[in-house]
Amino acid sequence: MRVEKSYRGISERLARRYLSNLGGTIEGDGDAEGDPETGGDVVADDWRASVSSEKVNIGPSVTLTEVTVVFEGEEATLDSLVADFSQKAMRAGG
């Protein structure tokens, strides 16, 4: 199963950290500075998530970063993973 969700108010780095806290391991070597929380998918035994971001316009003068997470795994696993991640992501701003 594949579930794609978008979140505003968090960074890719924070999304990867939340996924790591939910049992995943961040793949890859990180960015040029060696930060392991940037770049790469987050994987666990029974799920995988890829994280990307883009700037979106909110009205004529405001832009926000929108982070998209693509979750892949079994339906039963993703139901709780997406709910748990969404709860963390919704309180990121304060």
- For the chain, the domains span 2-90
Quick check: 82 and 5 in contact, CB under 8 A? yes
* β-bridge partners, 35: none
Give the pLDDT confidence of 13-61 residue by residue, as tens digits. 999 999 999 999 999 765 545 555 667 899 999 999 999 999 999 889 9
Dist. CA 39–CA 92, nearest whole Å: 20
Strand order in the sheet with 62-73: 2-8, 62-73, 47-58, 42-43, 25-26
Q: Which CATH number fits domain 2-90: 3.40.50.300, 3.30.750.210, 3.40.50.620, 3.30.1370.80?
A: 3.30.1370.80
If you average pLDDT over residues 51-78, what whole number do you get?
95
pTM of whole model > 0.75? yes
Flag whether pLDDT at 62 surpasses 80: yes
